[in-house]
Structure 1
Amino acid sequence: MMRDLRARWRKLLLALLALIVLPYVLIILYAPSFVHPISTLMLRDLVLLRGYDRQWVPFEDISKNLVQSVMMSEDGQFCTHDGVDWVQMRSVVNEALEGESTRGASTIPMQTSKNLFLWNGRSFVRKAMELPLALVADFVWSKQRMMEIYLNVAEWGPGIYGAEAAAQHHFGVSASKLTRRQSALLAVSLPNPFERNAGKPGSGLRRLAGVIERRAGRSGDYIKCLYE
């Protein structure tokens, strides 16, 4: 009886170990440009028989306007950090320890890792899993590949994933034709695409988009790792 119990525990531990190791294996498998990963949310939609709209487009076919806007809205130090913005992370930890409300410190590698391998929702467990995944992904993938994957798995509405589907759904154009204003609206809707509709923005969303549009126009030095 004890032998059977130990065998079951051993199998359970091996299964847990496999689940922990699998994302790191997938990071390596996702490195080639011909591989088009899907996110855990897309898998959820498939399991629930909802379906989804995602049309993969290579990095060079995504408007530079969108790349600039997303970077300046989500992760201005994308080109300089190693997957985690430790300065921002330290500030958030200090705020949490002091009992203050914290702001987000997720980088694009962290968000990409979460989208591909983890789940939505705020928890320390998920964040603890997210950090090493982001560091490994940033080490294995080029910055351009990272941005390509992120912009092809990001959610921009119910069942709307990736820049191409978002551009066509919200503005009736391809991802390569997005204007600065359209790109800024998509960028500022990313934190909550269910309440922030890029195609039908309210005054608050338009105001935020104006800020990001101005930042994107001055982002030359920030995006050198993607276009040099």
Structure 2
Amino acid sequence: MGLIKFLFKFLIYFILITVAWVGLYAIVPPPVTVTMLLDENGITKNWASFSDISPNMARAVIAAEDSKFCSHNGFDTEAIQEALEERIEGKRQRGGSTISQQVAKNAFLWQGGGFFRKGLEAYFTFLIETIWSKKRIMEVYLNIAETGIGTYGVQAGAQRYYKKDARDLTRIEAARIAAALPSPKKRAVNGASGFTARYGNTIAVRINVVRNERLDSCIYK
């Protein structure tokens, strides 16, 4: 009986603390993340408000990472199903994570897999989709995503690669940053070649699709 009481209290406190934490980050920029703290290359970051980031950048990550960002509730069930099928069949696995899930992981958790971390990721994804706006989710994503070695956020990335602010990124510049996002330590943004260059060019074309088909309607009215 004592154990049940303890677990019940733990659950209540866990929910209260995590809801308060997510609520705080709805208005306050996350000061640091576990990924940043564990980065042996140091931390270079510079927070930029959503209005100070080029629409090309937000549209580029929608095109590259999550075309259903404005229509799902944090989980792309079709992508998750395809990823599970590839895992079962032993094929090369694609990522099934949405931008919301990546924010949940990057802002509140740690890198790596495991069912426990995945469960927490799902929980925090639900919280941010419930408490935050889609615009806030995108704003946080663009500010804490790793954009290079020891570099976090598109503002720091834009300054590192193009010597300009994120608000001034062109379509191809934003596309190349987005193309490097899955593996920013391995994929070059400046002087991109091979796959990264081709993928960046594809994303640059898709940016127009995102704009014209209003796939960004939840963040740009």
Q: TM-score, normalised by structure 1?
A: 0.85
SS of residue in 2 equivalent to 1:152: helix
**Is the alpha carbon distance of 1:99 and 1:17 closer, same or farther for their aligned partners in structure 2, counting shifts above 3 Å?**
farther
- Mapped pair 1:86 → 2:86: no
Matched pairs, number: 215
Name 1:24's counterpart in structure 2: 19
Name 1:163's counterpart in structure 2: 154
SS of residue in 1 equivalent to 2:190: coil
Runs of at least 5 residues in structure 2 that lack an aligned partner in the other structure: none
Letter of the 2:219 partner, please give it.
L
CA distance in 1, matches of 2:206, 2:169: 17
Quote the offset at 1:14 in angstroms: 7.4
Quote the offset at 1:99 in angstroms: 3.8
**Is the alpha carbon distance of 1:51 and 1:195 closer, same or farther for their aligned partners in structure 2, counting shifts above 3 Å?**
closer
SS of residue in 2 equivalent to 1:156: strand
Match of 1:36 among 29, 39, 58: 29
CA distance in 2, matches of 1:198, 1:173: 14
User: After the TM superposition, which residues 172-183 of structure 1 pair with which residues of structure 2 at under 5 Å, given as runs?
Assistant: 172-183=163-174
**Is the alpha carbon distance of 1:82 and 1:51 closer, same or farther for their aligned partners in structure 2, counting shifts above 3 Å?**
same
CA distance in 2, matches of 1:210, 1:40: 32
CA distance in 2, matches of 1:36, 1:149: 7
Is the 1:156–1:186 contact (alpha carbons within 8 Å) kept by the matching residues of 2? yes
Is the 1:23–1:117 contact (alpha carbons within 8 Å) kept by the matching residues of 2? no
Quote the offset at 1:20 in angstroms: 7.4
CA distance in 2, matches of 1:16, 1:41: 26
Name 2:216's counterpart in structure 1: 223
CA distance in 2, matches of 1:196, 1:71: 19
Letter of the 2:215 partner, please give it.
Y
Q: TM-score, normalised by structure 2?
A: 0.88
User: After the TM superposition, which residues 107-122 of structure 1 pair with which residues of structure 2 at under 5 Å, given as runs?
Assistant: 107-122=98-113
What whole-Å deviation, never above 9, does each CA across 1:44-78 have from its counterpart, x for those lacking one? 35xx7x64111111101100111111111011000
Runs of at least 5 residues in structure 1 that lack an aligned partner in the other structure: 1-5
- Mapped pair 1:66 → 2:57: yes
What whole-Å deviation, never above 9, does each CA across 1:95-132 have from its counterpart, x for those lacking one? 32344332111000100011011111233332222112
Name 1:123's counterpart in structure 2: 114
**Is the alpha carbon distance of 1:41 and 1:23 closer, same or farther for their aligned partners in structure 2, counting shifts above 3 Å?**
farther
RMSD (CA atoms): 2.4
Quote the offset at 1:19 in angstroms: 6.5
What whole-Å deviation, never above 9, does each CA across 1:140-178 have from its counterpart, x for those lacking one? 100101100100101111221111100000111100000
